[in-house]
Structure 1
Amino acid sequence: MSETPDQAAEALRRGELILLPTETVYGLGADAGNPEAVAKIFEAKGRPRFNPLISHVADAVAAESIGAFDDKARALAEAFWPGPMTLVTPVKDVRRVCDLARAGLDSVAIRVPGHAGARSVLAAFDGPVVAPSANRSGRPSPTTFADAVEETGFAVAAAVDGGDCPVGLESTVISVLGGAVSLLRPGAVTRAEIEAVVGPLADGGEGHRSPGRLTLHYAPDAPVRIEAVEARDGELLLGFGPGVGDPRWSLSPSGDLREAAANLFRLLREADRTRPVGIAVSPLPTEGLGEAINDRLRRAAGHIG
């Protein structure tokens, strides 16, 4: 099952859901301005409605038609779009991004994805598309077409196969409100890269404006134990670095963080299918992209709160 971008755009116009490939993870997409269509996302995912959705658009011009950008937002957009970064700005057009998509907030989360297939769908649709990760709420995000279909394919009218997602983690979410820039969710665009564009970040006190902040999130069925030196009886170890665990289950045998990010959700899902007593994950560096990987692992283990 795989449709063309034009077929996916037509499904969106009918108020139906689609599977949308991006460079981060597969998304479950709907017309951002159609409350009935957006409600189908929450129903299919079992997602709480207080959690806002990210609106995906084809380019920065489209982004500025739905959000109010200041100079800092424009600098970040120029530096990192198209790509795995979401900006949270004051909302400009509440008709094109409905109240339910924004969780009733006066802000809107916007991204221009770096995946050519995603931008083809967005260009064909010619409007913002909300597309949270195409998993059932709380589970690991799908980074392959097959995993996306397995998770929420039952709910869609069209699915676009864009291959495996090369980034493998949800986008970095940055709030640009009231002249302050805050990191709400770490991702492939790192803290240091953001600060190189806009200077030191403010303390993040607006977490409710970002998705992906639940205490238990990205979790497989098996319990996850992090910073594990070795596996316990019945556990499957996801290693990191040379000589750590079985190479077949390593996030990155060479210790490369980008490889680890790309493999994280896929390996959590594959490990879960073996029905282990638990999934143990080796320690990973905390700097750079490691901040985002460790954030996802802590939430998978329920260690944030």
Structure 2
Amino acid sequence: MNTKQWIVDDGTDLSTTYPQLSQPAQLLRENEVVAFPTETVYGLGANAFSDEAVRKIYEAKGRPSDNPLIVHIASISKLDEIVQDIPEYAYKLMNEFWPGPLTLILPKKGNKLSTIVTAGLDTVGVRMPNHPVALKLIQEADVPIAAPSANKSGKPSPTHASHVYHDLNGKISGIVDGGATGVGVESTVLDCTTTVPTILRPGGVTKEQLESVIGEVTIDQALLEEGHAPKSPGMKYTHYAPNAPVFVVHGGVSFLQEIIDQYQKEGKKVGVLTTEEHLPLLHAHKVITCGTLTNLQTVAAQLYDVLRKFDEEDIDLILSESFPYDGVGEAIMNRLLKAAGNKVIK
């Protein structure tokens, strides 16, 4: 398969009409698969009404088909086609955070959506991405777009079009290149069908932000304790992993250097993921910075890119410093621990 590429600007000019999007929109209507930028990561899009189209997502990614997908829309008016029984507080969240990195789990309506999208569930995750290119593409396609991250299943999510090309060239019809994404980690997934709204996946909208709008929000037990099956799209299997094994180190910079020294005495080539503040204090085969502790949003934005950079290095393992769980730190640590397969050194 020849994977086409369309280069558009970074989405900062809201008046842009994006004539380049007519062909990828047509491909989506024809049940082909097209990758496109959002404010979180690049998505791998297909017509959410078509079993044929959605199967192509799973085939391209190598993703297990019992893992549901998030449906992307460009207008709240489109909700009525796919969901029902929307609670009033969900509308408050839409008004506050849409377009943006928040996915709402709502009761599915009728049988228009592909059952493959929902993995047979009677609910579906819906969001409106905060990226003009994504919104324009969905509008032009004129169908809701099912879209997980546009990477090979299990690998770090793509924050640049080059990441998508590396993983999926020859496996999908096209890639809309809109430059680097902004938030860097996927959307927060909030279950709106539980008695108390429940975070199934931490992401770009924090628990504190949600509670400032609607009051009490709880966290899925699967995020807090091992042994509970996760219910969110993108949380059922190991994800975000580079080629070398990852270990998350709790205990401060001096302890991290002790662990580095131990592995290097064994002849291991150690890669280290750290922040700009700690770079001068750490010495290993390869040290790569991932934002700053004073602004965890910079860590979120660079995390997947840095994990992919380690694949270009001659290393045996990766040691990552840990991050505070405040705000977006919850999402950062969630993704790091998923990349590490929950391997922690304390």
Report the TM-score, using the length of structure 1 for normalisation.
0.94
The answer to whether the 8 A contact 1:56-1:131 is kept is yes
Match of 2:300 among 243, 247, 261: 261
CA distance in 2, matches of 1:196, 1:10: 41
The answer to whether the 8 A contact 2:29-2:143 is kept is no
The aligned residue for residue 2 of structure 1 is 5
Match of 2:35 among 19, 38, 43: 19
1:70 aligns with 2:94: no
Question: How far does residue 254 in structure 1 lie from its aligned partner after superposition?
Answer: 5.2
Match of 1:88 among 105, 115, 122: 105
Aligned pairs (5 A) from 1:23-38:
23-38=39-54
1:166 aligns with 2:209: no
CA distance in 1, matches of 2:337, 2:33: 30
The aligned residue for residue 193 of structure 1 is 209
The answer to whether the 8 A contact 1:63-1:111 is kept is no
**CA RMSD in angstroms, aligned pairs only:** 1.9
CA spacing shift, 1:73–1:145, aligned 2, 3 Å: same
1:285 aligns with 2:324: yes
The answer to whether the 8 A contact 2:199-2:217 is kept is yes
Question: How far does residue 241 in structure 1 lie from its aligned partner after superposition?
Answer: 4.8
What is the aligned-residue identity percentage?
A: 38
Output one character per residue of 1:127-166: Cα deviation in whole Å (capped at 9) or x when no partner.
Answer: 1101100111111001001011111132222211111011
CA distance in 1, matches of 2:48, 2:81: 13
Q: How many residues align?
A: 303
Match of 1:135 among 118, 134, 151: 151
Question: How far does residue 248 in structure 1 lie from its aligned partner after superposition?
Answer: 7.2
User: Rg larger in 1 or in 2?
Assistant: 2
CA distance in 2, matches of 1:205, 1:16: 37
Give unpaired runs (5+ residues) of structure 2: 7-19, 223-228, 251-255
Question: How far does residue 205 in structure 1 lie from its aligned partner after superposition?
Answer: 5.9
The answer to whether the 8 A contact 1:13-1:31 is kept is yes
Give 3-state SS (helix, strand or coil) of 1:302's partner. coil
The answer to whether the 8 A contact 1:22-1:113 is kept is yes
Give 3-state SS (helix, strand or coil) of 1:7's partner. helix
Give 3-state SS (helix, strand or coil) of 1:124's partner. helix
CA distance in 1, matches of 2:186, 2:309: 19
The answer to whether the 8 A contact 2:230-2:236 is kept is no
Output one character per residue of 1:14-52: Cα deviation in whole Å (capped at 9) or x when no partner.
Answer: 111101111111111110010011011111111111110
CA distance in 1, matches of 2:168, 2:231: 24
Give unpaired runs (5+ residues) of structure 1: none
Give 3-state SS (helix, strand or coil) of 1:108's partner. strand
Aligned pairs (5 A) from 1:107-122:
107-122=123-138
The answer to whether the 8 A contact 1:240-1:284 is kept is no
Mean CA deviation greater in 70-79 or 288-297? 70-79
CA distance in 2, matches of 1:290, 1:31: 33
Question: How far does residue 203 in structure 1 lie from its aligned partner after superposition?
Answer: 4.8
Counterpart AA for 2:325 = T
CA spacing shift, 1:166–1:285, aligned 2, 3 Å: same
Match of 2:171 among 155, 158, 171: 155
The aligned residue for residue 240 of structure 1 is 275
The answer to whether the 8 A contact 1:240-1:255 is kept is no
Mean CA deviation greater in 71-80 or 247-256? 247-256
1:275 aligns with 2:291: no
Match of 2:75 among 41, 55, 59: 59
Report the TM-score, using the length of structure 2 for normalisation.
0.83
Output one character per residue of 1:173-215: Cα deviation in whole Å (capped at 9) or x when no partner.
Answer: 0010155310000001001111111111245269654112135
Output one character per residue of 1:219-275: Cα deviation in whole Å (capped at 9) or x when no partner.
Answer: 111100112613342111111251334897111145320000000000000112113
CA distance in 1, matches of 2:80, 2:312: 43
The answer to whether the 8 A contact 1:19-1:29 is kept is yes
CA spacing shift, 1:290–1:104, aligned 2, 3 Å: same
CA distance in 1, matches of 2:80, 2:221: 24
Give 3-state SS (helix, strand or coil) of 1:72's partner. helix
CA distance in 2, matches of 1:203, 1:190: 11
CA spacing shift, 1:208–1:286, aligned 2, 3 Å: closer
Give 3-state SS (helix, strand or coil) of 1:237's partner. strand
CA distance in 1, matches of 2:248, 2:302: 16
Match of 2:242 among 191, 202, 220: 220
1:177 aligns with 2:193: yes
The answer to whether the 8 A contact 2:200-2:219 is kept is no
